[in-house]
Structure 1
């Protein structure tokens, strides 16, 4: 029986390139973890399942690891799956769809792997709940999404606690033509040197995802506050746990904060969508939205941060169409010497078109698309020198 004290093996799944950020977020929750390719492993209770689902900005989903074992034959897979303690998690009427994947393994047929896994779980539940083989399991109850993942002949069985991916915060009702996922936007902000006391500008804001995620981070608003999770359906998951976690998260929101965030786009329709998304996210008062061309941007402010996910070749279907935009970006932004600039694109020739070599470049994945995050660090603000008492100025 699963209780609030039961320690479970858990995994936060994430996109390639995000692992270190997810690991940092989990450690910030006071949980030890181990970072691996595409995932972060940790142990926790149902309270930690709720906390990570509510708080993680850059992960995709949180799963319970039921077990891992070598599987080079279908008989071995069947017996390994059947040996796991499914009865501790799945009630008799559980709906348990099985998804699968196989990488560099002898059992390479995903449909067969899924079918064998499903059959093994069914057999285990029939034995435990004393049901005859002639009567199919109803599967009319709560949903427990199961995945069997084979990698290098090792099978890992997990149950998804999240449901819809964590990037779905619940505030984005409409999108632009090539929307950036919310957890990717949060990652872009977490990879900058922006602090809430600095000006922030996104001049290709689209549906507003980057500035909205920035405002959520600044105000310490948990990204999962306004959404539901798969585990809420499960009878053994204490309903009070999520309510307590969300109540605690609300108490940690920074109310007294003045932000200087400007979000612009050339498309007036997108600006209206972005305004509505910001309103639903609860940060409409923190962001100034303005329809504006990049060429018209100018500022007297210093030591700010510019973040942009401009249109790029694969998104528009034509690299040549974005070259003039990158040149204009360079002409407008390079003179802003005290501003740091962060630009996401898949164009390997970006620096040449922009007119300056990046301070640092980071490889990320926007969905399946390999992209680079070009980072141009601005001049640091001089430290204020302390004036000793009695010193003439």
Structure 2
């Protein structure tokens, strides 16, 4: 694995630690990809590495708590059966955090990707107060870290899901729906947690939701759009099994494409954004004043409120139909550009799929050039409202899986 020095044609030999780090990642990815325990012999065959090298690397992964040995599978071969290796259910874990219209949420996933803890806390301060919101999130994060420790897990990092573009995995450039602009959420969260041992990152909620749904499909979904709705309307786009981030990591702001050039003014400052026609707030605006004043549904989330009222109020059903049409027009244009075969309704939209799916499907059928011979499936996402926070936690696990050497060499307190 040669290294090219900047500004030179000279190719330097790879340092030994780089080779070791590469091979550790190679082995760990191979173990993670197999549904059943993998033996050392199988790893040698699959990677081409020498058995002594395999043994040393496996020992490092075992010592780091990233994998564990399981009893031999006597059904796989005659003679002495090999000991299997699989991802550890103790050791490193990921912590995801997110903000919703009604709550703050924390999620712990272990190194296998399994959810081990999901916690909700009511918002005690307006989400438009970024510093206080981050401090509240830090409080729920600290509780989740303690819960993880009680289960034998060590939180390797924290990722916060936010409804807007993020620079350098830390600074929220502009999140119109919650009023955050040029706010370094990562730095504030790092300070509020009061620990340098836990890595902190911030990422867009729609992209994180798409990653969670991709994992949930056992990575069988290869080309899809994840329409995520809560504060903001965004799109997580996965092409060929990779999340599409764009040149600066800011792709997916579907809520701010124009559907009506002379339409109402959006919180972002532009006119006629999709958010103004298909966002939850736009749908809720159809709820009669008497219903809003009654307070009977005040304890419910916006999506649940819309769903309950849609069963008995024609004006709410009409608002959902208008939202579905606007979503379908915008997604249809997107599909004409990027060619995906599945659209998942995620976040709060997953709870409204009954009223949105047909309208979206109709617009896609009428507007996507290839839809006549290559239909696009529109359906509720399997995970739904928890997708962003689970995806946030999974990014921590994925980072360790890609470069396990950073975890293995990490100082332990």
What TM-score results when the alignment is normalised by the length of structure 1? 0.27
Q: Which has the higher contact order (CA 8 A, sep 6+)?
A: 2
More helix by share: 2
